[in-house]
Chain A
Amino acid sequence: MVLVLMVLVLASALAVITSAHLTRVQYARLQQLERSKDQLQTEWGQLLLEESTWSAPSRIERLASERLDMHVPELNEIRVIRR
């Protein structure tokens, strides 16, 4: 009887150790994920800024006229298609 109890106590002690260890591991992982979330957030913000810089209306307009040789259509170049 005593022997069984001792074994059980030992087993539960080991289980406590294991679960504490697992908690630490998971906690470390959580922290790492939080860090990477922060980093991704930062990156997203910077990409958003970059996108808005590249797609600034003035830049698009300049590129369209210089590189693609486009222009704003004159009035009689516009055809309205009515359905």
Chain B
Amino acid sequence: MKNLKGEIWVYSEEKETTYELLGEGRKLAREMNVTLSAITVEGGETERHFGFGADKVYILKGLGEFEAETYAEAISIIAKEREPEIILIGSTKRGKELAPRLAAKLETGCATDCVKIYLEGEKKELIVERWIYGGNALAKEKFTKKPSIITIPPKTFEKPIYKERKGEKVEVAVRVSEPRVKVIETKKREVGEERLEDASVIISGGAGVKRKEDFKILRELANMLRGQIGCSRPIAVDYKWFPEWIGLSGHKVKPNVYIACGISGKIQHIAGIRGSKIIVAINKDPEAEIFKVADYGIVGDLYEVVPALINALKRRFRGKTRKFTENKPLNKTF
């Protein structure tokens, strides 16, 4: 049963990301004169989706915990019935294994990690943009099959302001196969640890940091600014000091301020920090690439500059009611 009016669908297993996608989906839906629908599973806060822009919420019944194959199957079943124009999916790790599997089921195109979506020209052709070539270029891509499946990283678009609204609820019982991949153990991040994607301040270290222990200087600055510490890929992959890194193949971060200490600034690293509001570079090498993408740079030894910055900030904050959190352990992976 095809809808008379086309639809844009939004799905993410993460609530906040779903709301962000609804915000962006709303704009497209208005321009295309189509319905905006959220795809959800049982047990969610259905009503809230209306407040963030959804006209309709599909509630899929009979699904268990997320598993890419079964979720792809479920969404494909209703997609075949209702033929949405566009399916927006949050580009989390789960979203990125779901979207291509769903696209394969629907024999259609998919563009992952898109940072822009718009309609172009008189024909209002749907265009997405995504980084390719290791962050050297943005590719403009268009779709030649329907539906257009698009994944969008969390925090790419702003969460819209919540407005009390009503909408249509559609419950759909889906019968899918038993998941063939079973989770036998989960090692969760400790409670209170913030994801790098959510950090407002990140102090990051690169090959200029000589020993793992030296990250404590960065941690001190991070704790003072209630931020997190991070690192570039060589620190994680080559030195194995930390399990995670920031960059094209790692975390893509969007803090208010990103302070790169001893990071040379390879394009793959830059691809992970592009969304930062302010980028600060501290590096001994005045020719380092990182200075070209920084708002503020200090040419100098991080072992001198970082402690001096800590002191300078302490002097500024002294006497204010601001509370330091100097000993609070944050983000234990680092």
Q: Do the two chains bind?
A: no
Binding site for B on A (CB under 8 A): none
